Structure 1
Amino acid sequence: MRLLALPFALLIAVQTHAAPPAAAQRLAQDAVVVDTHIDAPYNLIEHWADLGGAVPQRHFDYPRARQGGLDVAFMSIYTSAGDDESGQAWQKAQMQIDAVEALVQRHPDKFALLRSPADVEKLRAGGRVLLALGMENGGPLGDDLANVAKFHARGVRYITLAHSRSNRLSDASYEARRPLGGLSPFGEKVVAEMNRLGMMVDVSHLSDDAVRDVLRVSRAPVIASHSALRHFTPGFERNLSDDLVREIAAKGGVVQIAFGTAFVSRQAADDTLAFFRELDALRARNARAAAEGRPVESEDAFEAEWEKRHPVPRVGLEVVLDHIDRAVELAGVDHVGIGSDFDGVTALPTGLQSVADYPNLVAGLQARGYGDADIRKILGGNLLRVWREVEAAARR
């Protein structure tokens, strides 16, 4: 997600939660757990840490991934709208991919790069955590369609077309300004090229019209790598409407439910929406000030003051379970998964504080009556099925 800076002190203050029952822990270890959105790479280039050992200031490291049963972690190759505007997006994306590759090379007994779902069983042998790559924001593509294939060659297996602001591919959900009315013609070409290569198209962060355009254009199922449901957060377009959840499922895709409090709590979602409205207004004032030669306001100072005035509410993992229940009701259990946004958000529900905590989610699903077979689908089976179908569509 990466809305505001991640204060390490906040991440250290982990909330306590009762240990999950043994049955939940066994299922988490035995199932293939796939989390489609973990923001570790950006943090590696901002503040390096060896994730092969314990790094309690982060949400993801190897010991806790094994504790939680995580098998496939999609490392988010995130670049901001500012990186795109300054011409740094391509460079920062390459650096993050390098950082993931270096982590694997440093710890070949703990990590392996994953480029195809066909390799999951082979590569996870011996307790390795498999690192797949998903690009959050299409900014690094620039204006060159050939860059899609170049990033595919580097291992990127999904692209979130836009992030917090509209770009040359797509309108973004957070931004009031919608210059494209959905996807741009270039964005449509990017979707078609991703289909050709067997890359998953990710509709998280997109405006509703852009999501509909992706569903119209794509010849393969699509994913929402880290989204929750607007049913619980009215007016918060960053989350998916009931209709869009149904349409993604009808095309064979999967909605990966995010854990971040800003997604799953109505109060936090309202605050996030207000934050972006005020940020848009600040940027408009700054544009006028710059044109008139007057001083501009600091966005960093605005964000810091915002955090002071809007403390994030505390919620439990039950709210995440509510979003999963609703998604299953709308789409069916074959079209729901998990995309935590670990290391990309500053606040998380009690019981879902790091990659060690997937057994807590399993226990919650079991308590709500889900059978083990359906839990396995939600934990990762559905995402792997969609990934296989995207590859099959490319071969066709």
Structure 2
Amino acid sequence: MKDSKRSTFLTHLNSTTGRRSFNLANKFLFSILLLLPFFVSCAESTDYKNFHQAAFVADLHDDTPISILHGFDIGVRNSDGQIDMPRMRDGGLDLIFFSVWLFPSDYLEKDLAFQKANEIIDAVEAVEQKYPSQLRLIRTADEAISTVEEGMLAGTFGMEGGYPIEEDLSKLEHFYDRGVRYFAPTWNNSTTWATSAEFETTDTTNSVFGLTKFGQDVIRKCNELGLLIDVSHSGEQTVKDILEISEDPIIASHSSVWNLTPHFRNLKDYQLRAIAEGGGVVFINFYSGYLDSTYQSKFDALLETRKSELDSIKEELEFLGKGDEFWEAQNKFLKDDIERIKPPFEVLIDHIDYVAKLVGADHVGLGSDFDGVSSMPKGMNDVSDLPKISQALFSRGYSKGDVKKILGENLLRVFKKVTG
């Protein structure tokens, strides 16, 4: 009897233990399944960040030199501005093109634009001298690669607007010798020898657009020197003339897509195709107004709402002889308002994706315009946010090879082709 009870008890115990073991195993498996998306998400997060840091990343347009000229130290982490070397490393940026851009008042007098442009280059060279183990100014694609392999940040110059050459080809050669590696004939203001996109769009009295004879000579001189030609800001006729004359691939250092946002600063499909057919690259601008067709009307309404306050700020600055500082003061005053009307991050990826689908991933890259615009999409606050672009491209199904091209390899290809 005791043996029978013992047998029954053991059978019951084994049965109960088995059920408990089965239930525990099920609970454990269920818990793993619940946590699996979290583990996958963490792995993907780590993967895109590691991938981005390992890739060669180039940004074709940054307006930080004006701030550097006025004493901004990019060698330390700052709470303002969008570019400094610590945040460049956070964002995986390897090669930065420092923009040589002038205030319109800087080219009203003869030789003043030439002088101011040299001062900007001097200021950036002083940063290299101050931080010789962190930043190196390079002249070629190979120098950029070797600099990054040594663990340093690479920098070079792009000239935004041809005003500093003052109708003198020897001055163009001078700036090439100083390290300028792309040259844009115009900014929003036309030069005497090339019409800008803004001018060609808004001027109703002038029927003569494009390059003059001297403008054509400028393009040929760029080809002779091995200087990349940048058509961002150039008018449609100017772009057509450049494409017809240039024997080298050309770039648009910071432009976006007209078909998505019809703004005079953006490029139409036929222009995108022509640049790609010549082996060139279009580097997408991050400014909200070039990415979202509804942004400008929202911003204009904001300016109207704040008109009285902004007028007071402008009057005070002009009284102090600091009228050129109004744009920056306006952006600072409107910062919280601008934050509310920013478009979503995905609009930036939409423009990259559009160009890649239209002409191929070999012909699109990044030209942020950091420190040069008042608004970028939500989530793109400064250079440290660049890895989000890799993440977004992967989420849209882009291969690692194509993402690498977009991040920097396309720039290296055209840079090496033109500058050697």
| Coarse TM-score class (shorter-chain normalised) | 0.7 to 0.9
Shift of 1:51: 0.6
Q: Which residue of 1 aligns with 2:215?
A: 187
CA distance in 2, matches of 1:51, 1:305: 23
Deviations 1:221-266 (A, max 9, x none): 00000000011122x1210011100110011100000111121111
Matching of residue 73 in structure 1 with residue 96 in structure 2: yes
Q: Of 349, 352, 369, which aligns to 2:397?
A: 369
Secondary structure (helix, strand or coil) at the match of 2:294 reads helix
CA change 1:57–1:195 in 2 (3 A) is: same
**Residues 314, 329 of structure 1: alpha-carbon distance in 2 compared, 3 angstrom cutoff:** same
Contact 2:103 2:324 survives alignment (8 Å): no
- Confirm or deny: 8 A CA contact 1:81 1:139 kept in the other structure: no
Q: Render the CA deviation track for 1:147-197: whole Å, top value 9, x for unaligned.
A: 111000000000111001111231111122356411121111111101001
Report the Cα offset of residue 44 of structure 1.
1.5
Residue 253 of structure 2 is aligned with which of 221, 225, 236? Answer: 225
Q: 2:189 aligns with which of 149, 165, 168?
A: 165
Q: Is structure 2 residue 408 aligned with structure 1 residue 380?
A: yes
2:220 is equivalent to residue 197 of structure 1:
no
Matching residue within 246, 258, 262 for 2:289: 262
**Are 1:122 and 2:153 an aligned pair?**
no
* Contact 1:138–1:169 (CA under 8 A) maintained in structure 2: no
Q: Distance in 1 between matches of 2:324 and 2:91?
A: 37
Of the structure 1 ranges 347-356 and 238-247, higher mean CA displacement relative to structure 2 is found in 347-356
Distance in 1 between residues matched to 2:155 and 2:281, nearest whole Å: 20
**Which one-letter code corresponds to 2:267 in the other structure?**
L
Residue in 2 that maps onto 1:295 = none
Query: What are the superposed Cα offsets for residues 98-127 of structure 1, whole Å, 9 maximum, x if unpaired?
Result: 011000010011100011001122212343
The percentage of aligned residue pairs carrying the same residue is 37
Amino acid at match of 2:130: R
Residues in 1 aligned to 2:347 and 2:146: alpha-carbon distance in whole angstroms: 35
The CA distance in 2 between the partners of 1:49 and 1:226, in whole Å, is: 23
Distance 2:378 2:389 in 1: 11
SS at match of 1:74: strand
- SS of 2:175's equivalent in the other structure is helix
Instruction: Look up the SS of the partner of 1:345 in the other structure.
Output: coil
- Report deviation, 1:343: 0.5
The verdict on how the C-alpha distance between 1:383 and 1:180 changes in structure 2, with shifts beyond 3 A counting, is farther
Contact 1:66 1:127 in 2 (8 A): no
The answer to which structure has the higher helix fraction is 2
2:176 to 147, 152, 155: 152
How far apart, in 2, do the equivalents of 1:220 and 1:126 lie?
Answer: 30
Q: Which has the higher contact order (CA 8 A, sep 6+)?
A: 1
Correspondent of 2:79 among 56, 60, 66: 56
**Letter of the aligned partner of 1:319 in structure 2?**
V
Note the C-alpha offset of 1:269. 4.4
Q: Distance in 2 between matches of 1:206 and 1:165?
A: 10
Partner residue of 2:264?
Answer: 237
Residues of 2 paired with 1:237 and 1:387: CA distance? 26
Deviations 1:82-105 (A, max 9, x none): 322234211111111001100001
TM alignment of 1:16-165, pairs within 5 A: 21-45=45-69, 47-87=70-110, 88-165=112-189
Q: Residue 10 of structure 2 corresponds to which residue in structure 1? A: none
Find the aligned partners of 1:198 and 1:270 in 2 and give their Cα distance.
41
Decide which of 350, 353, 377 is 1:325's aligned counterpart: 353
Structure 2, gaps ≥5 residues long = 1-40, 303-322
Letter in 2 for 1:387: F
CA RMSD of aligned residues (A): 2.6
8 Å contact kept, 1:264–1:320: yes
CA separation in 1, counterparts of 2:326 and 2:104? Answer: 19
CA distance in 1, matches of 2:298, 2:109: 28
Contact 1:71 1:130 in 2 (8 A): yes
TM-score (norm 2): 0.78
Q: Offset of 1:334 from its aligned partner?
A: 0.4
Per the TM alignment, residue 273 of structure 1 is displaced from its structure 2 partner at its CA by 9.8
CA contact (8 A) 1:137 1:161 kept: yes
Q: Cα deviations across residues 61-86 of structure 1 (Å, max 9, x unaligned)?
A: 01110011100000001013332223
- Check the 8 A contact 1:202/1:225 in 2, yes or no: yes
Contact 2:295 2:342 in 1 (8 A): no
Partners of 2:251 and 2:283 within 8 A in 1: yes
Letter in 2 for 1:120: A
1:28, CA displacement in angstroms? 1.3
Q: Distance in 1 between matches of 2:404 and 2:373?
A: 25
Unaligned runs of at least 5 residues, structure 1 = 1-17, 276-297
Contact 2:281 2:410 in 1 (8 A): yes
User: Does residue 212 of structure 1 match 2:240?
Assistant: yes
Equivalents in 2 of 1:379, 1:141: separation in Å? 31
Matched, 1:315 2:338: no
Whether contact under 8 Å (2:295, 2:343) holds in the other structure is: no
Which structure is larger by alpha-carbon Rg, 1 or 2? Answer: 2
